[in-house]
Amino acid sequence: MSSSDVRVQTGWMPAGQDDLEEWLAALAQQVKMRGEQITLHPVIVEFQELLKQDPLMRMTLNEMIAQTPLKKPYSRRHLENVDQMLRLINEVLTMAPEFSEDSTVMTPLGAILDWTMGTQAGFGAYRDPRMNAILCKVLNAWGEFLSSPDSRYVLNDTPAGWKSDAAQQAVGMEQFEYDPDDEYWGFASWNDFFTRHFKDGERTVAAPKDDNVIVSACESKPYKISTDVQLESPFWIKGQPYSLRDMLAGDESAEGFVGGTVYQAFLSATNYHRWHAPVAGKIVRAFVQPGTYYSEADSEGEDAIEPSNSQGYMAHVATRAIIIIDADNPTIGEVAVVLVGMSDVSSCIIDEKVKAGFHVDKGDELGFFQFGGSTECLTFRAGVIDRFAVDAIPQPDNPEAPLVLVRSELATVTRTSRKAS
């Protein structure tokens, strides 16, 4: 696992390979000790039945487990066969992510499947519509638990609890709305805690009266800035160039962004997970595009097991919310906001009011990622961006690179640009 892995830097996966392996080994041992006493969730039973009826799919899943490389850092195998894999998944369906200063596993389903993603069989398996359909049901089942009161057990003050001093410092809890006198801080579920709101006065909108200032849609770490993006590009190759038609799911606005700029950034595990309008304007369209859940770019080879290495690719194929805004500032024109679900994070919830014809002010809330965050793309027309703010410039080799705060200045507009026809 690379020390520059964005998931490590932002808290989705442990900083050390040994920490991840110990977590997986403990989970596997727990499942083994319980043996046949485990009650399988109905969705896991459905998964088993699917594999019984589909021998080719069963073969592919067995192959992706067998193809995990034998060399380090994959030498400590945690997946033995498909049945055991399903039992591991079953175990986490009633598990809420715990806090740890050193070895947080914020995406336990992704941790179980991680090494299979970068195998030849895995590349095909995670693009199979049947596989994605059942994985969608698995994720929905886990989401139901995380949205239930039973998931609040991790809101305690033990070292693994989110009310511990270390967790409160990592989260910056003093910035958020919560009830310190309530046992669960007033949150109805884990997801309620995870999608918490800032207090009034936190994250004010930069230059609210200046339409030439674009603000950050999310609290995120810059990943990539691409210019002169094209309508169609081979997004699956090394480098993963943006392909507008694919990223925007065939939306008619795609042609207007040819030659323009895409800014992509990664959301942190312990930070804020709601999206906000980067500009003031009218909603043209807002929809969720279904997609893959664990598919990685095979051009990355074995490194494809790190979803951070496939962020560009995933912006074209993963489940994502797509919101097109026609900016009030005519020099900006339309802006595409694309919120991409990665790995376990696949619930992209657009606010009910955000629909065609609705006007948003700069900084207004657009929606949120349920259970955490993922990666965002902001797409601008050619000639619109004059410059990006210093903090918005990606620093891939700097683990201490600052986050771009939501609703802070992201970029300024080229005043001589003109809205495309």
Whether 181 and 38 map to the same domain: the answer is: no
Residues 232, 166, single domain; the answer is no
Say if residue 225 is in the same domain as residue 333: yes
Tell me: the pLDDT tens digits for 314-373?
888 888 999 999 999 999 999 999 999 876 666 899 999 999 999 999 999 999 988 755
Spans in the chain with pLDDT lower than 70: 1-19, 70-76, 102-106, 235-239, 298-309, 343-346, 372-373, 416-421
Interaxial angle between packed helices 55-66 and 42-53, expressed in degrees from 0 to 180 and rounded to the nearest 10? 100
Over the stretch 167-221, which tens digit does the pLDDT of each residue have? 999 899 999 999 999 999 999 999 999 999 999 999 999 999 999 999 999 999 9
* Calpha distance 399→15 (Å, rounded): 11
Instruction: For residue 171, give Cα distances in angstroms to 12, 55, 181, 184.
Output: 13, 46, 18, 16
Please indicate, yes or no, whether residues 156 and 238 belong to a single structural domain of this protein.
Answer: no
Give the bridge partners for 324, in sequence order. Answer: 285, 336
User: What would you report as the CA-atom Rg of the chain, rounded to the nearest whole angstrom?
Assistant: 21
Pair 165, 302 in one domain: no
260 and 315 share one domain: yes
Cα separation, 7 vs 344, whole angstroms: 13
Q: Calculate the average pLDDT of the chain.
A: 86
Same domain (yes/no): 73, 176: no
User: Which residues have a Cβ under 8 Å from the Cβ of 386 and sit 6 or more positions away?
Assistant: 411, 412, 413, 414, 415
List the domain range (segments joined by +) for residue 91. Answer: 6-146
